[in-house]
Amino acid sequence: MLDPRLLRAFVAIVETGSFTRAAGQLHMTQSTISQQLSRLEQAAGQPLVAREARPVLPTPQGERLLGYARRILALHEAAAVALGDPAGSSALRLGLPEDIFNPAMCDIFRDFTARCPQIRLDVTVGLSRELMRRYRAGELDIVVVKEEAAARDCRASFAEAMGWFESAALARDWADPVPLVVFPPGGLYRDVMFQRIEREGRRWYVAFSGSSLHSVLLGVERGLGITLLPLAAAEGAGLRRCAAFGTEPAMVVALYAWESGGAAGDLVVRMTDLLERRQRRSRAML
């Protein structure tokens, strides 16, 4: 009933007050625009304009339809413009650990989307092992992961300085069994913690398991136990290095990407530069 082409003819006739002027406005013949109005009136089941009036005027039923017709045509035009706008029409899928998805990385993403508005960034934040599984399965285009050693196909890798941490305000004697604050099962730090303590022949238990970096940091800060974290991830939190466990071998932060050129390649370069600066800052904390 409300075919936009017929509504456009009706609105033009009412606004110009003339079939002839409406036909010229829409680049139609007068007979064509008359036929379109007749089809709309047939669908509506009632006359919509008073043809004998000069200028042509809408009938009471036509007046009721006119406002709806204008809104329908405006929405029709807005939809056409939206579909023709390339902004956000293609996706670049990224995976990042929580401590890498920080304000500095978000600034890089902001600048990238400003330069390439046609690309939207679909970012997944999670545990490195799951992110790597999804990357290998082709579900992610670019990932940054924590590993014990980087694979040969990584685009860049950096040493990740690690440390044991305890609350800066609530010191405790960490006698056996040692309470640990950990990430959920599957987390790389969690496994390394268990292995280190078991190598030293000490007993341990999980005192607190947090699903996010924020929850782990808060658990340690409030004295629930100790944990193993990258030095950069603990920066600024209410923690201090736990002398009871000394140093820990560095891990690796590795960046992987399927594409090396185009917009994706440019983003990889900028992310790599940020990770390199992060590594230099971690070294200064040793």
Is pTM, for the whole model, over 0.85? no
What is the C-alpha separation between 179 and 174, in angstroms, rounded?
8
Query: To which residue do tokens 């413009």 refer?
Result: 81
Beta bridge partners of 157: 254
DSSP three-state, residue 258: coil
Q: Which two tokens stand for residue 15?
A: 């606004």
Is residue 213 a contact partner of residue 168, using CB atoms and an 8 Å limit?
no
Q: Which two tokens stand for residue 166?
A: 């305890």
pLDDT in 10s for each residue of the chain, 286 residues: 688 889 999 999 999 999 999 999 988 898 999 999 999 999 889 999 998 888 999 999 999 999 999 999 899 888 877 777 666 668 899 999 999 999 999 999 999 999 988 899 999 999 999 999 999 999 999 999 999 899 999 999 999 999 999 999 987 888 889 999 999 888 888 988 999 988 888 899 999 999 899 999 999 999 999 999 999 888 888 899 988 787 788 899 999 999 888 888 999 999 999 999 988 887 777 6
What is the C-alpha separation between 180 and 162, in angstroms, rounded?
16
Which residues fall within 8 angstroms of residue 164, CB to CB, at 6 or more apart? 226, 227, 228, 241, 242, 244, 245, 246, 248
Is residue 256 a contact partner of residue 97, using CB atoms and an 8 Å limit?
no
Whether the ω angle into residue 60 lies within 30 degrees of 0, i.e. cis, is no
